[in-house]
A and B are shown apart, each in its own frame.
Chain A
Amino acid sequence: MTACVSLAAVTFTYPGVDRAALSDLSLDVAAGEIVAVAGAAGAGASTLLLVATGLAPRLIGGTLTGSRTIGARRCGIVFARPWTQLTGLCSTVRDEVAFGPASYGRPREEVLAAAARALEQLGIAHLAARDPAHLSGGELQRVVVAAALALEPDLLALDDPAAELDPDAADALYAMLPALGRAGTAILIATPDLERVGEVATRALALDRGRIVRDGAPAVVLA
């Protein structure tokens, strides 16, 4: 299988901090893999997502040593706080979700079709005409996940994606992931919700102070 992202002996340190957030970390994520990333607060799970998607250190600064190869043509990322991920420029949910594909200059019909598919996948097609500024936290979280899916990413990084969701919506979100994996999207999920992620992940990592301490089957690693 093709590696969507390959990290070899990667160490990453945030700007102005002495201690490395990731230390000597090596990881290959193949297309279609659903990788759960577990660890206590400060273990480096969120940082791993930023490094794997190429956002660190490019946008947030810091230093990265080791080798990193991102094979994914397009990456999507979702953070725990959905309101920080809105463009603030769109007056409808449809336009918010369509923002990504439109930014890549795809034809209008393709953009709208991708947005419609993503809204359908998240079960929020009925929100398409609503103003994102007037949605609940749970609705907004599904909108930002849909916005990431509309990009049709090869690598999707989800950082505690169900933080704002009620239990049913969280179940629905996790239930959707295996289909994405089968379609070839590699997924990295950092979450404290080990029960839900354990049911859908094909592989799990346990991080401690920026190092992978366990890597294997979710039933073993997350137990």
Chain B
Amino acid sequence: MIGYVPGHSPLHRAHPYTTLAAAGAVLFAAFAMTEPFTVWLLVLAGAVLAASGGVLRPSARTALLLSLPIWAVLFVIYALLGGEPRVVVGPLSLSAPGIARALVLGGRLTAIVLSFLTALSTTSPHRLVEAMTARGVPFGRTFLLASTLTILPRLRERAAQILEAQQCRGLRLGGSPLARVRALGPLALPLILGALAEVDEQVLALDVRGAAAGVHRTALDPPPDSAVQRALRWGLLALVLAAYAWKFVRMRG
């Protein structure tokens, strides 16, 4: 699950900048945290954020799916192959500092992925465009960001259509792993070529509709912002700066 999921949660209703600021704060704070405990507190914060958006289960599932392979690599590199002292866990002899390092790196990754999946799930691209338009952000930048946020759901939808069409023509998806890999060809090629061909027409259509007019676009329904939300965004910035200050003080100490 990667992409916007309509809803009415506080995160869905929040100004898009607030949601993105929360995800951004988790990203920057993650690199200021150096202890497993604090990093996993951040993962917990990411989970609370997802829960407040009503997307905890799908976001956590996707975050785990994306993080697990990295965790496995971190475990091997740091916990199995790390230095002394070592602790014995069942049949395994593991590096104690390696376990801590793996927990920090894995936790950072999980917190970042979880918070950004939550932001993607709860930030309507349309509201984001309206918010950026109201702030006078040039359309090119707005389009770039919004297209990036929507590209995966659009490709997924298109892939499903191509898959249906190819199955109607006899494509079989089951069988051995090799057969499954072979089946990717009839799916991937039309997906990529079709997307490229359609981009041409979309560029023309957008240009004619003034996307490159170079004037300040009119925002039709800019999402409401409030003093509380602005204060919250400044507060998040302050927290991130405080986290880095704390890290700097500890490094000096």
Contact = CB atoms under 8 A, between A and B. Distances in A.
Interface of A: 50, 53, 55, 59-60, 75-77, 79, 81, 83-92, 95, 98-108, 111-112, 133, 144, 147-148, 151
Interface string B187-214: 0000000000010111111111111010
Contacts of A133: 157
A107 B146 contact: no
B126 A90 contact: yes
Contacts, number: 97
Interface stretch (B45-53, B172-180, B215-223): B215-223
Contacts of A111: 218, 220
Given A88-B147, A89-B143, A108-B218, A151 B204 contact: no
Given A84-B198, A89-B126, A91-B126, A103 B204 contact: no
A103 B154 contact: no
A187 to B, nearest CB: 15
A46 to B, nearest CB: 11
A76 to B, nearest CB: 6
Given A108-B218, A112-B220, A100 B202 contact: no
Nearest to A153: B208
A95 B125 CA distance: 13
Nearest to A107: B218
B163 interface: no
Contact of B125 (A79, A86, A89, A151): A89
A151 B203 contact: no
A85 B200 CA distance: 10
B205 A103 contact: no
B101 to A, nearest CB: 42
B40 interface: no
Contacts of A75: 208
Contacts of B198: 81, 83-84
A151 B210 contact: yes
B213 A103 contact: yes
B150 interface: yes
Nearest to A92: B126
Given A89-B125, A104-B215, A133-B157, 10 more contacts: A59-B207, A60-B204, A87-B206, A87-B209, A87-B211, A95-B220, A98-B220, A99-B209, A100-B208, A104-B213
B205 A95 contact: no
Given A81-B201, A84-B198, A95-B220, A55 B208 contact: yes
B126 A95 contact: yes
A85 B215 CA distance: 21
A79 B205 contact: yes
A88 B220 contact: no
Contacts of B201: 79, 81, 84-85
A87 B205 CA distance: 8
A174 B223 CA distance: 39
Contacts of B207: 55, 59
A75 B150 CA distance: 28
A83 B161 CA distance: 14
Nearest to A147: B209
Nearest to B207: A59
Contacts of A77: 204-205, 208
- Most chain B CB atoms below 10 A, which of A59, A86, A98, A144: A59
A79 B204 CA distance: 10
A103 B215 CA distance: 7
Interface in B198-253: 198, 200-211, 213, 215-221
Contact of B218 (A79, A84, A105): A105
Contact of B211 (A76, A86, A103): A103
Nearest to B203: A59
A171 to B, nearest CB: 25
6 contacts: A55-B204, A60-B200, A84-B201, A104-B215, A105-B213, A107-B218
B95 interface: no
Contacts of B146: 88-89
- Most chain A CB atoms below 10 A, which of B154, B205, B206: B205
A156 to B, nearest CB: 10
